[in-house]
Amino acid sequence: PAAEVLYRREAEHAIGQPVGDLLGSSAIDEHGGIRAGEQMHHRADGTEIPVSVSVAPLRDDVGEPTGSVAVCTDLTERVERRAAEARYASVVASLDEGVIVIGPGGELTSVNESAQRLMGAWVVPNIHINRLLHQAPMITEYGAALDADDHPVARALRTGQAQRRVIVGIDDGGPRRWFSTSARPLVEEGGSAGSVVWTFLEITDRKRVEDELSFQATHDPLTRLPNRDVLIAALTDAAGPACANGTKVAVLVFDLDRFKTINDTFGHAVGDRVLQTIATRTAAVIRPDDRLGRLAGDEFIVVSPGLRDEADATALAHRINDAVSGPFRLPSGRELVVTPSIGIAFLSDQDTSPEVVLSHADVAMYRSKERGRARTEVFDHELRAAVSRKLLVHEALRSAVDTRAIVGHFQPIADAVSGTIVGVEVLARWEHPTLGSIPPDEFIPIAEDTALMPVLGAWILETACAQMAQWQRAGKCGSDQMLHVNLSPRQLTDPGFADIVMHALSSTGLRADQLWLEVTESILMEEGSDVAGALDTLRGIGVHFAIDDFGTGYSSLAYLKRFPVEALKIDRSFVEGLGEDPESTAIVEAIVRLAQSLHLETVAEGVETEAQARHLRAMGCDRIQGYLVARPAPAHQVDFGSHTFDAD
């Protein structure tokens, strides 16, 4: 029956037939007998079948051969398995991925060509896995040495668990190479783990790209220093050990004094070289545990853990100052000297947030600039009180803007010769119920930072225009008297600024030619291209423009030609030295002469004494403003009567 199944023939049709006719001619040897070994026999339907043939002779009682017995075994499954194995071996051999099979004892039982190409031609079957692991020292993804017992293959052999997509590197003295590796146990019959298949693919190029992208995300491309996020993380990491061992963690923030002048004078290429040199010099004087980074622009940060006291931090600041302040030699042979303004703050129980400590160091750095630059300041109780005050003002400001608690006071402006009041300047004033009187130089910068300035500025402008129009209707002032209103950068860069001014004029009835808008030099220089259109539009309807605090900003006077300016206001810092400080006197006289040559009017601010007024009249200054004329006052207290000067 088995033969009938194998050959798909019934016995009654096969008995008596020649073997060659039944199984094919290849089944018969040269002597006419059945051929032994692995053969291809024919079935009844003509298809071939692989069989293993064993032949034994048949003999009679006296030993004479009478025939033979053939035992045929179906080899179909075995042949298919061999073909599959051959195909698998061919596929494995063609893979770019290295494939090594390691036996239960650790010996290599199979190695494809890619494995030899990646690991070396000496990687051949029968060597032990330990030799391979020691011949090619491996490291973790983070660069630490990888112990042989922790290698994915060793783990898979030891635990019987797959180790998938582990990144390892080979550091054998040559260029470092990286691999993505997996080790998977082969489960033998009965369910026990035996051999391990180790596959690995070289990813050196990909790892290099990934590392570079990661580096770019966390470092400054110019100086190659860590960025803000990295330093914040370093500060966070330093907090725990500092609490445990009682040491201090300092944050030093510094930027370069007048660095913009270098960029403007020598170009950004020179500025970039200076920043790179600063980074190198600073890195050379900080301690091994300190972390140096670049925040933005010319601002750098050092996180310094493990300090004993404040003196250690200031000593570090002095080393940084000395290193940074060394001269820079330009390709032209010229030398530059750049100085840093440094602020220091400490991580403490009171200030545990890295962001807060960083902001405190920034505050200290700005105090360094305010006190003359090229110095070091530490965030102290005085600065803490100022920060606390600023926070309170910040919290109260929005409510003050919403409730119109900030109002306009008015300071008269007089003709320098006759004393006639020719106009008033509106000045914002804020009286808080608990904080008291808050001066403009305190709340205006906060309004600028919080985007409240356009709303506040529009309110002050409209109420001042309304007040001026009301005075005119009441006969308190004449139609030839002017209203001066200060503008901030936020107002000027508002795309709808010109419309806001025109609405204020139309809604209050004030003539456009009675309105003077005062801007600073810095606004025109920094925002010039953005505001020129608005200024031209407003000048076209009659609005006048004056430069406020003239002489304290940029030295370039090109904007006097580019913008529709009609008056210069001389800053009080120059006026107060008239007659006593030769330099101040010379500056005021130069400003007046410049204005006269350009057919511009001059207004001197901060005039407090008759002597100052006499000097200004003698120079030809047109108008004066200050306590000598009148102090700023609420609308109902403003006096438009002429001021009487002492005889010259």
Q: Give the pLDDT of residue 189.
A: 53
- One-letter amino acid for residue 145 of the chain: A
Q: Give the pLDDT of residue 191.
A: 45
Is pLDDT of 272 > 50? yes
Its pTM stands at 0.59
Q: Give the pLDDT of residue 4.
A: 80
Q: Does residue 282 contact residue 253 with C-beta atoms inside 8 Å?
A: no
Q: Give the pLDDT of residue 586.
A: 94
From CA 109, how far away is CA 98, in angstroms rounded? 14
Q: Which of 458, 462, 461, 466 lies closest to 496 in space, CA to CA?
A: 458
Q: Beta strand 340-347 with 376-378: parallel, antiparallel or unpaired?
A: parallel
Tens digit of pLDDT for each residue in 348-360? Answer: 766 678 898 999 9
Report the first-to-last Cα separation within the chain, whole angstroms: 144
Tens digit of pLDDT for each residue in 517-550? Answer: 998 887 776 655 567 788 889 999 999 999 998 8
Q: Which of 405, 402, 403, 390 lies closest to 449 in space, CA to CA?
A: 390
Instruction: Say which residue, 33 or 423, is predicted with more confidence.
Output: 423
Lowest mean pLDDT among 20-29, 415-424, 590-599: 20-29
Half-sphere exposure of 487 (CA within 13 A, CB side): 29
Tens digit of pLDDT for each residue in 215-225? Answer: 888 999 999 99
Q: What b-and-e string marks burial along 223-232, b requiring 16 or more CB atoms within 10 Å of the CB?
A: bebbbbebbb
Q: Which of 305, 344, 102, 79 lies closest to 200 in space, CA to CA?
A: 102
Tens digit of pLDDT for each residue in 81-134? Answer: 777 767 766 667 767 788 888 988 889 988 888 888 888 888 889 999 888 877
Is pLDDT of 388 > 90? no
Residue 554's pLDDT band (boundaries 50, 70, 90)?
Answer: low
Hey, what are 416's tokens? 């320098």
Query: How far is residue 281 CA from its own chain's centroid?
Result: 23
Cα 215-221-225 angle, rounded to 5 deg: 70
From CA 406, how far away is CA 404, in angstroms rounded? 5
Length of the chain measured in residues: 648
Tens digit of pLDDT for each residue in 421-452? Answer: 999 999 999 999 998 999 999 999 899 888 89
Hey, what are 534's tokens? 């608005």
Tens digit of pLDDT for each residue in 600-646? Answer: 999 999 999 999 999 999 999 999 999 999 999 999 999 998 877 77
Tell me what percent of the residues of the chain surpass a pLDDT of 70. Answer: 95
Q: What b-and-e string marks burial along 253-285, b requiring 16 or more CB atoms within 10 Å of the CB?
A: bbbbbebeebbeebeeebbebbbebbbebbeeb
Q: Which of 245, 351, 250 lies closest to 292 in space, CA to CA?
A: 250
3-class secondary structure, 38: strand
Instruction: Say which residue, 593 or 134, is predicted with more confidence.
Output: 593
Tens digit of pLDDT for each residue in 304-332? Answer: 998 988 999 999 999 999 999 989 888 88
From CA 546, how far away is CA 90, in angstroms rounded? 87
From CA 577, how far away is CA 588, in angstroms rounded? 10
Tell me what percent of the residues of the chain surpass a pLDDT of 90. Answer: 43
